[in-house]
Amino acid sequence: MDNQHLGADDPRWMEVLGRLPHDFYHRPEYSELEGVTNHAEPRAFWAREGEKELFVPYLVRRCDELFPDAPAAAGVSDVVSPYGYPGILLSEAGRKSPEFARAAMEALSESLRGDGVCSAFFRMHPLISEGLAELFPAGFFTASGETVAIDLSLDARVIWKHIRDSHQWTIRKCRRLGFEARMVPLGAHIDAFMAVYQETMDRVRAKDAYYFGREYFEKLATMEPYVQCCLVEQEGQAAATCLIFECGGIVQAHLGGTKTEYLNNSPFHLALHFITEWSKARGNRYFHLGGGVGGSNDRLLHFKRGFSDRTHPFLTLRLITDEAKYRALTALSAQDAHVPLEDRMQGEYFPAYRTLH
């Protein structure tokens, strides 16, 4: 089995994607953008044995930025998926060979350890990675909730029937009130999008990771036709927006929000329904709404489930590639937070040394 790590500028990255079902989250230009946003190096692991192929993009982050004065952090790094659902891709032949899949992931772990990487966190793709867990031992992946998708192969009347009654009522109300949804070029509407999105993030008290600067959206705007923007307006004023990705028959709801003054009318319902109709008309297979925020009372997930009864398990992969280095960094984190090391090691957050509190 041959395996290599590719840079985002390596032409083989796109050659591999040309043979494998993939999403926009797997493309090199998206990983490059995520690399800039996260101050990380975008790379991808590729393993091949005949027609068996495994591919996964990732970002390399330096750990000495967390603990700049600690010798234990010098030269140590970790790996994380770009934001979204990049996940592991497997060729059809690779999916039929658990031995290949397991050997490829072992090769990934060994090569990362050799490069000074102590841990790796990957987010699987709920649609493309479906059935992937069956190739690996129990417990290899971690169940991290579920996501919602709309099956666009269904008749439009069936799709509408699957929408919750209260959502249907809201969509009709928005239309009666004169709200109109349309697709617009992101580049020409960055100001409108950012105003709505940032106000939404402020209102929900989002974590810093959900805030993006203008440069981020300007770069996304250059990635047409994969990147589209749905804008909902009332009397020419932006009320709600949703940024979407379209690739390989899958439309992804990426980022979006609603202006506070329009919250009572819920125009974001109209945005998602418009995107559904638009996506279906373009011959796409799924409109993936994504998941929630976690917890037992997940209002975001409940909202999304009002558009479809189709859910998919969301899996993550959490690898400790170098136990000694991982434990040393976690000890530094525990010391800074004045908590016992074992409490830190056994916490839910991964990697433990990046726990925010």
pLDDT in tens, 323-348: 999 999 999 999 999 999 999 999 98
Q: Are residues 51 and 116 in the same domain?
A: yes
**Residues in the chain with pLDDT values less than 50:** none
Same domain, yes or no: 257 and 326:
no
Same domain, 298 and 347: no
Domain with 346, as residue range(s), is 2-140+322-354
pLDDT of residue 357: 60
Do 164 and 271 belong to one domain?
yes
Q: Note whether 112 and 169 are same-domain residues.
A: no
Confidence (pLDDT) at 297 = 62
**Angle of the 190-203 helix axis to the 214-221 helix axis, nearest 10:** 130
Would you say residue 293 lies in a domain?
Answer: yes
For the chain, how many structural domains are there in total?
2
pTM score, whole prediction = 0.94
Residue 36 resides in a domain: yes
Residue 96: what pLDDT?
Answer: 96
Kindly state whether residues 171 and 79 are assigned to the same domain. no
Residue 279 and residue 164 share a domain: yes
**317 within some domain:** no
How high is the mean pLDDT of the chain?
A: 95
Note whether 47 and 178 are same-domain residues.
Answer: no
Q: Output the pLDDT for position 210.
A: 85
Asked whether residue 302 is assigned to any structural domain, the reply reads yes
Q: Are residues 244 and 204 in the same domain?
A: yes
The pLDDT, as a whole number, for residue 356 is 78
Alpha-carbon distances, residue 13 vs 7, 112, 169, 179, 347 (angstroms) = 8, 18, 46, 42, 36
Q: Same domain for 302 and 343?
A: no
Q: Is residue 336 part of a domain?
A: yes
* The pLDDT value given to residue 294: 67
Domain assignment of residue 214, yes or no: yes
pLDDT of residue 298: 84
- State residue 157's pLDDT score: 97
Q: 152 and 259 in one domain?
A: yes
CATH number, residue 26: 3.40.630.30
Residue 201 lies in a domain: yes
Q: Verify cis geometry, omega within 30 degrees of 0, for the bond prior to 225.
A: yes
Q: Is residue 267 part of a domain?
A: yes
Same domain, 186 and 329: no
N-term to C-term CA, the chain: 42
Q: Are 326 and 112 in contact (CB under 8 A)?
A: no
